[in-house]
Chains A and B, each alone.
Chain A
Amino acid sequence: MQKILFTVLGVLMLLHASMARAALSIEIIGAGEHQIPVSIVPFGGDEKLGLAINEVVTGDLLRSGLFRLVDPAGKSPHEAAEVHYPDWQVRGTEALAIGTVSAQADRRIVARFRMLDVVKQVELIGQAVSAGDGQIRAVGHRIADLIYEKLTGNKGVFSTRIAYVNRQGKMFSLIVADSDGHNEQVVLKQNEPIMSPSWSPDGSHLAYVSFETGHAAVFVQSLYTHQRKAVANFRGSNSAPAWSPDGKQLAVVLTRDGSSQIYLMRPDGGEIRRISFSGAIDTEPNFSPDGTSLLFTSDRGGSAQVYRMPVAGGAAQRLTFAAGSSYSPRHSPDGKSFVFTHLSGGRFYISVQDFQTGQMEALTEGGWEKKPSFAPNGKLILFASEARGRGILATVSSDGRVKQHMFTQSGDAREPVWGPHL
Chain B
Amino acid sequence: MKKLVISIVLVNLLAACASQKPHETTAAPAAPVAAAATATAPATATVAAAKTAVDPLNDPTSILAGRSVYYPFDVAAVQDADKPLVQAHAEYLSKNAARNVRLEGNCDERGSNEYNLALGQRRADGVMKMLELGGAKAAQLDSVSYGEEKPKATGHEESSWSQNRRTDLNYAK
B145 touches A237 (CB 8 A): yes
Q: Is B3's CB under 8 angstroms from A281's CB? A: no
User: With A216-B145, A236-B121, A253-B118 in contact, do A368 and B111 touch (Cβ < 8 Å)?
Assistant: no
Docked pose: A259 CA to B145 CA in angstroms: 12
Selected contact of A253 from candidates B7, B114, B156, CB within 8 Å: B114
Min Cβ gap A175→B in Å is 16
Instruction: With CB as the reference atom, state the residue of chain B lying closest to A340.
Output: B112
B120 to chain A, nearest CB (A): 8
- Residue B146 interfacial (CB < 8 Å): yes
Bound together, the chains give a CA A12 to CA B104 distance in angstroms of 45
Number of interface residues, chain A, beta carbon within 8 A: 37
Residues on A with C-beta less than 8 A from B119 are 281
Per the CB 8 Å criterion, the residue count for chain B at the interface is 27
- Collect the chain B residues with CB atoms within 8 Å of residue A239's CB: 114, 117-118
Closest B residue to A260 by CB, please name it.
B118
Chain B residues with Cβ below 8 Å from A346 are 3, 6-7, 10
Q: Which listed residue (B7, B114, B125, B150) contacts A236, Cβ 8 A?
A: B125
- Binary flags per residue of A221-247, CB closer than 8 Å to B gives 1, else 0: 000000000000001110110000000
Q: Contact at B115–A327, with CB atoms within 8 Å?
A: yes
With A211-B149, A215-B144, A325-B74 as given contacts, are A281 and B122 in contact (CB-CB < 8 Å)?
Answer: yes
With contacts A216-B145, A259-B122 taken as known, whether A297 is within 8 angstroms of B117 at the C-beta atoms is: no
Does B110 count as interface, using CB distance less than 8 angstroms?
Answer: yes
**A54 interface residue (CB < 8 Å to B):** no
In the complex, how many angstroms separate the beta carbon of B84 from the nearest chain A beta carbon? 26
B167 interface residue, CB < 8 Å from A? no
Cα of A259 to Cα of B149 in the assembled complex, Å:
19
Q: In the complex, are the beta carbons of A193 and B112 less than 8 A apart?
A: no
**Residue B143, interface by CB 8 Å:** yes
**Complex Cα–Cα for A255 and B6 (A):** 34
Q: A195-B117, A211-B149 are in contact. Are A343 and B111 (CB under 8 A)?
A: yes
Q: What's the least CB distance linking B124 to chain A, in Å?
A: 9
Q: Are A284 and B114 in contact (CB under 8 A)?
A: yes
Interchain CB contact under 8 A, B3 and A347: yes
B100 on the A face (CB < 8 A): no
Q: Which of B103-157 contact A (CB under 8 A)?
A: 110-115, 117-122, 125, 142-147, 149-150, 156
B7 contact set on A, CB distance < 8 A: 346
Contacts of B156 in A (CB 8 A): 368
Point out the residue from A209, A284, A303 that lies within 8 Å of B112, measured CB to CB: A284
Interface flag for A345 (CB, 8 Å) = yes
On whether A327 and B145 interact (CB within 8 A), knowing A237-B121, A239-B117, the answer reads no
Known: A297-B115, A327-B111. 19 other contacts (CB 8 A): A196-B113, A211-B149, A216-B117, A216-B147, A235-B142, A236-B121, A236-B144, A240-B114, A253-B118, A260-B122, A281-B115, A283-B114, A304-B74, A325-B74, A325-B111, A327-B115, A341-B112, A345-B3, A370-B112
